[in-house]
Amino acid sequence: MDFATLLRPSPADGQSSVVNPLLANNDLLEGMPPAHIMVCGFDPVHDHGLLCHQKLLNSRITVRLNVFAGYPRSFRRIPSLKASDKWDEDMICGVLWALALNA
């Protein structure tokens, strides 16, 4: 399988709310479960994560946001960084938080 091909969406995919949740209308978002969003400060999709957070809030979806300001995308791959431990902690807490809200 050519994974690079999968990274090149067709023009129609660019208009899909499945590919880009920012295109989802409120009717599609209604009843969505809680979301936990984690973004890095120096990430090409940093703003997209923040916009998704705001869109979910505007749609009355319960959402939790963790921002790792000053860190690049994939910094978690460097386990010696203290922020890597914080990432793991926030990820676990976020999953537990979302599961508790759905219990």
User: 48-91: per-residue pLDDT in tens?
Assistant: 999 999 999 999 999 999 999 999 999 999 999 999 999 999 99
Domain positions in the chain: 33-103
- Whole-model pTM? 0.81
Alpha-carbon distance of 20 to 72, in angstroms, equals 22
User: Helix, strand, coil proportions of the chain in percent (round to 5)?
Assistant: 50, 15, 35
Burial class (CB in 10 A: 0-12, 13-18, 19+), 31: exposed
| Confidence label for 28 from pLDDT (cuts 50, 70 and 90) | confident
| Confidence label for 15 from pLDDT (cuts 50, 70 and 90) | confident
Alpha-carbon distance of 96 to 98, in angstroms, equals 6
| Confidence label for 1 from pLDDT (cuts 50, 70 and 90) | low
Burial class (CB in 10 A: 0-12, 13-18, 19+), 62: middle
